[in-house]
Structure formats: C-alpha cells, structure tokens
Amino acid sequence: MPPEAFFSGPGLDRADQLRGQPEAIADLARRPNARALLWDNGAPVVAPDGKLAWQPIAGETPLFLGFEGEAPRFSALPDGGVPVNARAHWGLLAQLDEAEAPLFAAALSLANWHRRHGHCSVCGTRTDPNRGGWSRACPTCQAEHYPRSDPVVIMLAEDGDRLLLGRQPTYPPGRYSALAGFVEPGETIEAAVTREIGEEAGIRVADVRYVASQPWPFPSSLMIGCTSTALDTEIRIDTTELDDARWFTRDEVRAAMEGRPGAPFEAPPRFAIAFTLLNHWLDA
C-alpha cells in the first residue's frame, strides 16, 4: 500500500446517497446532535488539542458534510473575502490533529470552491448551492456545476543515493522540497513529471513511479506524489520558478528530516506531501 500523506483518508461518512434529498438533509439539521463547523478568518477553527471545533446549528448551514458516527455535520459558507493560500493558515496546519485533517481539507476545499464559483460558467447567472452544497445549480439555464480538483504532480528525481530538491522564493530560509507543477490539459502524469523537472531544473528523467496522493485545499488541488530516475545530473534552474536546486545525499536528507543541528537544509513540514515522499525514499 502507498504511504498515507497528511490530509489523506475519508474523514466523515460523506453520505452521498442523501445529497439529492433536501427534505432529509433538513431533518438531519434539526436533530439535537447535529452540529455546524465553526469558522474563523476563512478556515475551520482548530482547538488547542488539534481537533476541529463544532457548534449547535443556528441560521443557514447549506453545506452537509456527512456523519461523524451517528451525528450529522454541517457548515455555513464562510466570508468570501479571506485569502485561501496555505501560508495564511500555516499555524493552523501545524497544530491540526492528523485524524481531523481529511475533514479540514474537504470542508475548506468545498468552501473555497463556493467562494470562487458563484456564477454559472454557461450563462453568468448567480447560482445556488445544491445537493447539500456539493454542487451549484443555475436557475436560468439549469446547468449544474460540481467542485473541481486541480491535479498537481510533485516529484523526486533520484541519482543513485542522491536526491534532487529545490527551493522556491516564497520558502522560509534554508528550506528545500520536492519540485511540483500543474498537470496540463492533454497530459499524462508521467509526461507532467518529466516536463516539470526538465523545465525547472534542466534534468531529464525516466521510469516515473507513483508513490502517494494528497488533497491540498489551497484552494483545491490533488497532489500526485511520484519519484523518477535521473538520466543526467547537471542542474540548470529556471530562475522564474526556483531560487536554487541541489543534489542531496541520503545522509543529508536524513539529517534534515530528523531536524539535526547543522543539517544542510530545512525539511518540508509534516503536513506537506513532500514530507511523505522524503520519508518514503529514506525507507526504500
């Protein structure tokens, strides 16, 4: 089985069979054990123990998230004016309990989609939440729109006992991580991995292998973790994408992942799939 990255897993029972039954969903919202997700600053509230915070339902809660055991779980639509990038919520992710992470990702991705896609892409009319909030319906042309996930490849290139890592200008000082990029229309995962490593670091690769995947709710991506074999080793970075890229030995990667003093770089955080990819490579 592939390693399980942070944000992976089912979260709540999503109860898809109920999404087309608005009366049944309304009945669930009236149950004494029904709760609504608490939001603040555009993200679900995370309590000091790392768990998500819930409150009794009051007012409109158009998003039906599913069941936690026998308890229905709902969410309002949070304010649309709040930034949805990961760095704005870095502190929350650092304290978030791993078991709560799949629900956090689902709720935030869904909320981000509603924020950004409030009008029909066919005729431009303002749309309404539908199917418990898992789609939006156009009252004018009857089109129905569903949340999207944008596929992103994130990958390692191996040269024997060395690994290619890079750093973006937005990273904290000293941090290196796996290279990444969006899968383009008409492109396979393997082709995207090959293209992105070539574009960003000038390295040709082959033998692309899937490792693991991870939802990334900023705003709504599916990170597809892969590894590959380098065919050459001379790095030629694209400075519009990267500040730097280097080859690191297994011992250097292990030192960074263990947070040792004097490690040659700062490892990615535990909630990034790059952390999972590096651990997987070290264990191979």
Let me know whether 222 and 97 are in one domain: no
258 φψ region: left (φ > 0), alpha (ψ -120 to 50), beta (else): alpha
- Express each pLDDT in 217-235 by its tens digit: 988 999 999 999 999 999 9
**162: CB partners within 8 A, 6+ apart:** 247, 248, 249, 250
Q: List, for residues 177-209, the tens digit of each pLDDT value.
A: 999 999 999 999 999 999 999 999 999 999 999
Helix (H) or strand (E) holding 64: strand 63-68
pLDDT 10s digits, 22-49? 999 999 999 999 999 999 888 899 999 9
**What is the domain range of residue 142?**
117-147
Q: Is the pLDDT of residue 90 over 90?
A: no
Pinpoint the alpha helices (H) of 69-167.
Answer: 90-95, 101-116
Return the pLDDT at 83: 57
The answer, yes or no, to whether residue 102 has pLDDT greater than 70, is yes
Kindly state whether residues 143 and 90 are assigned to the same domain.
Answer: no
Single out the residue of 120, 126, 113 nearest to residue 143, CA to CA.
120
Q: Alpha helix (H) ranges present in 150-202?
A: 189-201
Percent of the chain whose predicted confidence (pLDDT) is above 90: 86
Indicate which CATH number applies to the domain containing 192: 3.90.79.10
Q: Which residues pair with 35 in a beta bridge?
A: 56, 73
Same-domain pairing of 277 and 159:
yes
Q: Give the count of domains, the chain.
A: 3
183 with 266, same domain: the answer is yes
Residues 156 and 242 in one domain: yes
Q: What is the pLDDT of residue 80?
A: 61
